[in-house]
Structure 1
């Protein structure tokens, strides 16, 4: 299937991108690979100004042969006009239409700012929560595939394990489930803000790294890898959520919920994104993935809608109902070299039992 449309990259367009309105541009797009969108490299282009005040799309452009009578005709059909880009250049034609993006702005899905489970309930004199508690809670995030708005860079690319699983063999951080993710976002936002304000990618990344380690134990993140990651992704056109998701995802802390169209124009998808549920530990992600199928409450919703994933944690009752003997934690064991698997299982059980006693005496 093929269809015609219009696109507008971040530096052009009649859309508002990053809060800045840009000038209108004649652009074109076509589904060249037949997958139903124009979000892949080579499927979008700027149109060329032609003689006579017209525009022509370079996609599928062909030369117009000259007849014996001296006129030019388009081999693709008489409905397509031939035109020259400059004096003396050979006439060409294209079957792909050009449209002014100022008249057809890009429609972009708003980025979900999910803070995760908040510490907003009442506590007793000893600081114990009196309300609902969520265990292994996550946050809904997204990262963008190579597409128009991220200059066809893969903002979901795995750059290695940057964030370390701070839990180790302990579950002591259950009461502070999203600290790493929150402070990571603080650092990423600082780097992105500095870069947008004119700082070099290197200085912006350093500012982001300082903001990250100011809020968490520096041993929980590979700072040098984080700096390199931020420099690379800033230069690629990835935004702060792309970067945060990339770090957590590469560190094994995200569950991919699905893929959706993040931006479109005239109904044509020009940018795709992958939605994620990200946790502050790999163990949290593994237990969520293998625990949800065991619980009736999750059977109907799964991970929720692709655009707005349900990344909530387990209630105390749900967590107690989990059968850990049915879970394959080998992926987690591989990251913990200091203890045997049997020791880890005993340690986990002891920590869980102790934690449950504190929240449900």
Structure 2
């Protein structure tokens, strides 16, 4: 078996287990009303315990359980809210004293919940004119990136931190700055396509085994074993499937942990009645670590990037250099030690692996 290649059967078994998990259905019923409160005073309600499902009341309304207080009987015998008369006393359990809450509820599907649209950046596509040898004759972008976002722990991610560093999964390489700009980004998409295929097949009524086979075929077909640590990718995929993270979260997780993304900034991506319940981070992700480093150190040298920089966290500006801009860069002013040190470490590891293979081969040849 080739080094680094995971047998299709292993991937199929992994996806079969995931399909069985999916068959159990969602963890809970759909929430009808939500409320959110900044309990710790940090400016948002994205932390655990700061959002809650509202409770239906006997009066036909909804009550937020956050900071809810039991109503007291007044001198007239009527219930009154100790938080203030502006808050209504409502009965959640028949026969028990009513409760009141200073926090409002809103329908999940209503205008009370707002989401910042996710930037769907396909990156640079090779759709220009080419010559007979396949060389681009149109507008060339060198070391182009793709705008992506990941979400930190919050309501939309089931309080999972989808931006957490999970280590280096995508293997780096110098790559061709002109012809293979999207190679490593495509690798990240390929992992997601495998689990998506399994999930789609399972939802369509196929058995867990059939769904797993569909996923394994898509997974292996979209992955170059020399470009990715497949065993890590499978573990990574499982972790993401069991969380509230989506495709962009996963792509950023793979590329950021591999040193291929530039962090642009954080922003609020979901609000309930104006209160932030989910924060996200905007990134520019590149095909290689070298591309990210040259972009970070080359942009400050060019006037064309002075006004816009890296864009905004909601809409990162990730375009590549034009040939004229690239020729104008002064590489003597760039610190590429981060990249060189990794090349040296990788060379040492390759030497050790090569020596081990030769020793193992010799021992096998002389063994009786």
- TM-score normalised according to structure 1 size: 0.78
How far residue 55 of structure 1 moved from its aligned partner, in angstroms, is 2.3
* Cα offset, 1:246, TM superposition: 1.0
Work out which of the residue numbers 147, 154, 160 in structure 1 matches 2:154. 147
| Aligned equivalent of 2:313 | 306
How far the C-alpha of 1:288 sits from its partner, in A, is 0.7
Query: Superposed, which structure 2 residues align to 1:27-42 within 5 Å?
Result: 27-42=34-49
- The whole-number CA distance in structure 2 between the counterparts of 1:231 and 1:202 is 17
CA contact (8 A) 2:106 2:113 kept: no
Work out the CA distance in 1 between the residues paired with 2:58 and 2:249: 42
Deviates more, 1:154-163 or 1:299-308: 299-308
- Is the 8 Å Cα contact of residues 282 and 316 (structure 2) preserved in structure 1? yes
Alignment of 1:200-215 (within 5 A): 211=218, 213-215=220-222
Residues 144 and 271, structure 1, Cα contact 8 Å, conserved in 2: yes
Q: Secondary structure at the match of 2:58?
A: coil
Task: Identify the match of residue 188 of structure 2 among 159, 164, 184.
Answer: 184
Alpha-carbon spacing, 1:208–1:301, altered in 2? closer, same or farther (3 Å): farther
Aligned Cα root-mean-square deviation (Å): 2.9
Q: State the match for 2:171 in structure 1.
A: 164
Contact 2:191–2:233 (8 Å) recurs in 1 = no
How far did residue 38 of structure 1 move? 2.9
Q: Which runs of 5+ in 1 are unaligned?
A: 1-21, 341-361
Residue 274 and residue 102 in structure 1: after superposition, are their counterparts in 2 closer, same or farther (change >3 A)?
closer
2:58 corresponds, among 51, 55, 75, to 51
Name the structure 2 match of 1:131. Answer: 138
Q: Match of 1:306, SS?
A: coil
1:210 is displaced (CA, Å) by 5.3
Asked whether the 8 Å contact 1:141–1:277 carries over to 2, the reply is: yes
Structure 1: how far apart are the matches of 2:219 and 2:331?
33
Q: Is the 8 A contact 1:141 1:276 kept in 2?
A: yes
| 1:45 partner SS | strand
3-state DSSP class of the match of 1:325?
A: helix
| Residue from 328, 332, 336 that aligns with 2:339 | 332
C-alpha distance in 2, partners of 1:123/1:71?
82
Offset, 1:333: 2.1
Moved more, 155-164 or 105-114: 105-114
Structure 1 position 196, deviation (Å): 5.3
* Cα 1:204–1:173 shift into 2, 3 Å: farther
**1:1-361 counterparts in 2 under 5 A?**
25-66=32-73, 71-104=78-111, 106-167=113-174, 172=176, 174-195=178-199, 198=202, 211=218, 213-337=220-344
Length-normalised TM-score, structure 2: 0.76
1:201 Cα offset (Å): 11
| TM-fit CA distance, 1:146 | 1.5
- Greater shift in the superposed pair: 228-237 or 320-329: 320-329
For residues 321 and 203 of structure 1, what CA distance do their matches in structure 2 show? 55
Count of residues paired in the alignment: 316
Which secondary structure state, in structure 2, belongs to the residue aligned with residue 337 of structure 1?
helix
